[in-house]
Amino acid sequence: MVNVPSAGSISVADLIGDAVVRVPSDATVATAAEAMAEAGIGAVVVGDQERPVALVSERDAIRVIAAHQDPAAVPVIDVASTNLVWCAASDTVEQVAVRMTDRHIRHILVERAGVLVGIVSARDLLGVYAAEADPVV
For residue 137, what pLDDT band results from cuts at 50, 70 and 90? low
Where are the extended beta strands (E) located within the chain? Answer: 22-23, 43-46, 54-57, 86-88, 107-112, 115-121
What is the residue-averaged pLDDT of the chain?
90
Eight-state DSSP code of residue 131: H
Weakest mean pLDDT among 93-102, 115-124, 128-137: 128-137
**Side chain identity at residue 50, one-letter code:** E
Report the C-alpha gap between 28 and 75 in whole angstroms. Answer: 4
**Rounded percentage of the chain residues whose pLDDT exceeds 70:** 92
pLDDT, tens digit (0-9, with 9 covering 90-100), for 11-63: 999 888 778 999 999 999 999 999 999 999 999 999 987 779 999 999 999 99
- Taking the C-alpha atoms of residue 118 and residue 16, their distance in angstroms, rounded to an integer, is 6
Of the given ranges (70-74, 103-107, 109-113, 132-136), which has the lowest mean pLDDT? 132-136
58 in Cβ contact with 123 (< 8 Å) = no
Domains of the chain (ranges; CATH) run: 9-133 (3.10.580.10)
Count of CB atoms situated within 10 Å of the CB of 5 = 12
Give the DSSP per-residue string, 17-39. Answer: -SPPPEE-TT-BHHHHHHHHHHH
Residue 9 burial (CB count, 10 A): 11
